[in-house]
Each structure stands twice: as C-alpha cells, then as structure tokens.
Chain A
Amino acid sequence: MLTIKNLHAQVEDTPILKGLNLEIGPGEVHAIMGPNGSGKSTLASVLAGREDYEVTRGSVDFCGADLLDMDASVRAREGLFLAFQYPVEIPGVSNLNFMKAAINGKREHQGLEPISAKDFLALVKEKSALVELAGRLRDRSVNEGFSGGEKKRNEIFQMAMLEPTLAILDETDSGLDIDALRIVSQGVNAMRDAGRSFLVITHYQRLLDHIVPDVVHVLSEGKIVKSGPKELALELEEKGYDWIKEPAV
C-alpha cells in the first residue's frame, strides 16, 4: 500500500529526513516513535503534501501511484488522511459545509455525483456518534471554540467520514485526557479493517495500549533505526531512546 524508499526531505535548507525506508501493507497498523526532532511530524507533513517541505531524494509509492507527484488535495482524494497534531480553526467555515466539500471533492474524483443532503446528514449522524461529537458540529465553524480533546475527536470524525485507505495520526494523543484518549482510540479501532492501514506517530507508549500496532518503528535523526513487534514500544517506554541511538553492534 505504502512504500517509502530512501526518503530525504528538508525544511528551508535544513535536512530532516535522511534516507527513510518504510513499507506498510494493507490492513496493517504501524507505529512510529522517536525523540523530539527525529523527524516524525516532518514525515507526516511530507506524506500529506505540505508545501514548506522539500523532498530532495527518494520515492513514495501509494497504491501503485507516485504520491509525491500529487497535490495535497489529490492525495486526500486518493485515500490518504492526516489527523493533524494541531487541528486548525477556520472561523466562518461551518464544519458541515467543510465536510460536504471534502466528500464531494472525493466523489467527483471518483466520477460520482455529489452526495445527497439526506445521505450526508445520515453519515454525519453515524460518524459523529462514533467519537461522541453528535450535535456538537452543526452550526459551528471548523474547530472554532473546540477544546483540545474535541479538536482531536473532530479529526477522527473527519477520518471516519472520508474513509481513507491510509490514515496518518500525527501525535493524536498529545494533549488528550484519559477519556478523550479512549474515545479517539475507539474511533480508530472501529475503522480498522483489512483494507485500511494506519501510521500512528506518537511520543508515548500509552496510545499504543489502546491502538495496538502490528509493527513499531523507531525514528532517529531522520531514519528508521529499529523496527519490532508491539513489545518494542514497552521497551522504549522503559529504557528511553538513548540505547537505540548507539550504533548497532
């Protein structure tokens, strides 16, 4: 589904990713952990198509197509989703108009008619209940006046609405209390299936108690330096990152 080969990327003139390789198969959940500054969020931004990031080398294949060649909106229409670490407030744009435009953008890309008002509202009702946001979205601007937890739940709501093939969760657990963490995780778990993959970027092991990964990777200085089963996350929690940063023996 996703094959990243020797990815190098920089912001302005500072190289951040320095030869990253990663392969995610359909239905798999991969976690990426690593210390601050290791390039976790840069990886998410590069994959989602943020413009300030320049890819200098390497390739990213997404379901057989060259991901790096696509505009951010096309990546989304092709089934990529990024749950933002800091969801953006957009005053004046209603949550529902926003989601409707997103869904219709995708449907147009697939050669489908725009969604009917009735189907759209039914979908909103179903998916917002999933993250316990029912009734909180109507008549409100995108993320405006939402608490930190609500913003993250709104990210998962949007993910559920758009049904991506690959979802990248960029530190979705940051700033969440234990209840919000549970709600967000339930939302994610409800969407796990054989055709959908997840890339979970996190600093802490606690999210991975709820969203159990198939593989855990450690990112350090722009490269994946270690990969292992879910138990690796526990080990990292216990020992920190320093032991991995040492050159492999």
Chain B
Amino acid sequence: MSKIKKRAHAGTLESSDAFIEIEPIEEDKIKIELQSSVEEMYGDDIRELIKKVINELDISHISVKVQDKGALDYVIKARLQAAILRANDDEKIKWDKL
C-alpha cells in the first residue's frame, strides 16, 4: 500500500464524463465524496468501483472527490487512474493493473 505523492485531478464537468480530484490524507482509508446525477440509482456502485480501482493500484490514505455527470464505469475508471498517475508523476505505467 502506498500513499499518492500529491494532489491531482482529471476529467471534465461535461455530460457523460466525470471530474475527479484526489488528495493524500493522514488517515489510512479511502475517503469518497461523490456528487452524481445518478446518485440514487448508481451511487453505491460508483463508490464500489472507485474503491476497486484504488485497491488494484495498491493505494491507501487517499481522499477522492467525484463530480459524476452520468459517466460509464470505464470513464470513471479512466479518469481516476489518470488522476492517480498524475499524482505520482508516473511515467512507467503498469498496464496489467489498469
């Protein structure tokens, strides 16, 4: 488990997309703040997905803020992974983990 290096964000506020901001935090947990146009129907699924993506990348101590505009799962995944890679200035991408 590792902590991300710095604050980062990815995505847009446009329809079908998601705007994701991440930040390292002191507590050993994944803190999720979700605002979604489909919160009622899919809120829990989106939170699960976020946790899964973060766990797959062996990351902890992270706060995630998501503005979801009805994004498909893979869009949220792509934006979250992009934010994490940016937070770590990652050049070497472990594709098998994405």
A binds B: no
